[in-house]
């Protein structure tokens, strides 16, 4: 997966199965429904099926096209997941007769607008790890607290890259004209995988740089990097593990605007206080690029995509995020660890879990 962990502990032994009892996801909507309007909003709970499968089951029963159903984001196939969807109110009668062994409608309301992709605050997770020794439980507790304090790198999870883990390679073939793909949905997913792959490479490089500044002296860093000495000192003095660089594109956290990092001292303090975060590039023609030292590292990773820029839209993505509402419980008689936390939209629970356990072989 080409991802570098930022913490330094040894791996934790445990067993994890993304079953409906051990992996539960609850979507947190961006806004409350008004109770009136032309759109029927349903709170849907599904188990062991993709969002696409759930939408197909509903559309087949109701008799509408899948594109008429609004949703905020895709949820994992495995486990128990709850999310909100919207559809035209006129189909309410057909919805009432819907029945499926793996889908349950928990609530219904009305709203003026259709739910669109991205219309969520984030997701709340419950994860149960099994066969955890008391020693490993103590380690998890310490690392869990560290992640709560400092956050973690916002890598794309393995789900983004398909079962083979090589969707990004197929995407490169697609963009270069070697591969043909008629399905717009598959084409979009493949291109997104390629952008995600490059983002992960860039973020891993930035974690590596941060580790270097964390572990080497100013003199040693001056020999390693062709930066002005004063800049090296400013980077090394930053409180947070993840070091900001001149020219980084920052974003107010969790909401706000994008802006250029020009004052390292001030912005690093705001980053440490969770007021802002650093962003990484999703390559494309509409994406803004970082500048200066930060821009040079970004260009090194993105240069392989130069020939395809016009075929991708592009954007910026949070490179560092913080979990909230974090809870951990160890049940020694069962050797279970139960974790609960909230993540902002676009973040992966499995990425947090991998950083927590230093295991990259999750199901």
Active-site residue set: 76
44 forms beta bridges with: 83, 105
Retrieve residue 192's tokens. Answer: 């997104």
Would you say 119 and 29 are in contact if contact means Cβ atoms under 8 Å apart? yes
Q: What angle do CA 166, 172, 175 make, to 5 degrees?
A: 145
Please answer whether residues 56 and 66 qualify as being in contact, where contact means their C-beta atoms are separated by less than 8 angstroms: yes
| Nearest CA among 327, 322, 166 for reference residue 254 | 322
What per-residue string of b and e applies to 253-291 under the rule 16 or more CB within 10 Å gives b? beeeeeebbeebeebbebbbebebbbbbbbbbeebeebb
Residue showing tokens 């974690």? 207
28 Cβ contact partners less than 8 Å away, ≥ 6 residues apart: 120, 121, 122, 123, 124, 342
**Rounded CA separation 328/141 (Å):** 7
Locate 145 and state its tokens: 């607290």
Which of 280, 13, 2, 285 is CA-nearest to residue 139? 13
In terms of DSSP H, where are the helices of the chain? 51-62, 92-96, 134-150, 167-176, 184-215, 218-224, 229-236, 264-272, 292-302, 349-357
Phi-psi region of 335 (alpha: psi -120 to 50; beta: other; left: phi over 0): left
Give the C-alpha separation, 252 to 274, whole Å: 9
């Amino acid at each position: 997966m080409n991802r570098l962990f930022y913490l330094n502990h040894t791996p934790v032994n445990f067993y994890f199965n993304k079953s409906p009892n051990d992996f539960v996801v609850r979507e947190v909507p961006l806004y409350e429904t008004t109770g009136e309007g032309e759109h029927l909003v349903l709170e849907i709970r599904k188990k062991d099926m993709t969002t696409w499968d759930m939408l197909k089951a509903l559309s087949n029963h109701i008799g509408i096209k899948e594109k008429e159903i609004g949703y905020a984001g895709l949820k994992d196939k495995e486990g128990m997941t709850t999310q909100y969807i919207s559809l035209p109110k006129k189909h309410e009668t057909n919805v009432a007769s819907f029945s499926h062994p793996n889908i349950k409608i928990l609530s219904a309301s009305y709203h003026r607008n259709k739910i669109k992709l991205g219309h969520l605050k984030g997701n709340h997770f419950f994860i149960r790890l099994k066969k955890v020794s008391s020693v490993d439980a103590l380690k998890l507790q310490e690392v869990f607290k560290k992640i709560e304090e400092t956050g973690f790198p916002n890598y794309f999870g393995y789900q983004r890259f398909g079962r083979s883990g090589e969707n990004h390679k197929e995407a490169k073939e697609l963009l270069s004209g070697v591969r043909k793909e008629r399905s717009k949905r598959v084409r979009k997913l493949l291109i997104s995988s390629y952008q995600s792959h490059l983002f992960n490479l860039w973020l891993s490089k930035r974690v590596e740089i941060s580790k270097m500044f964390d572990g080497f002296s100013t003199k040693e860093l001056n020999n390693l990097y062709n930066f002005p000495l004063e800049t090296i000192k400013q980077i090394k003095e930053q409180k947070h593990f993840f070091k900001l660089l001149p020219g980084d594109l920052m974003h107010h956290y969790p909401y706000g605007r994008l802006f250029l990092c020009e004052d390292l001292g001030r912005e690093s303090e705001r980053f440490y206080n969770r007021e802002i975060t650093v962003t990484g590039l999703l390559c494309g023609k509409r994406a803004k690029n970082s500048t200066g030292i930060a821009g040079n590292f970004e260009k090194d990773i993105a240069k392989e995509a130069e020939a395809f820029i016009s075929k991708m839209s592009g954007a910026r993505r949070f490179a560092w995020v913080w979990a909230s509402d974090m809870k951990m419980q160890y049940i020694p008689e069962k050797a279970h660890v139960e974790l609960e936390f909230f993540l902002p939209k676009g973040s992966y629970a499995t990425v947090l879990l991998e950083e927590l356990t230093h295991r990259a072989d999750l199901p």
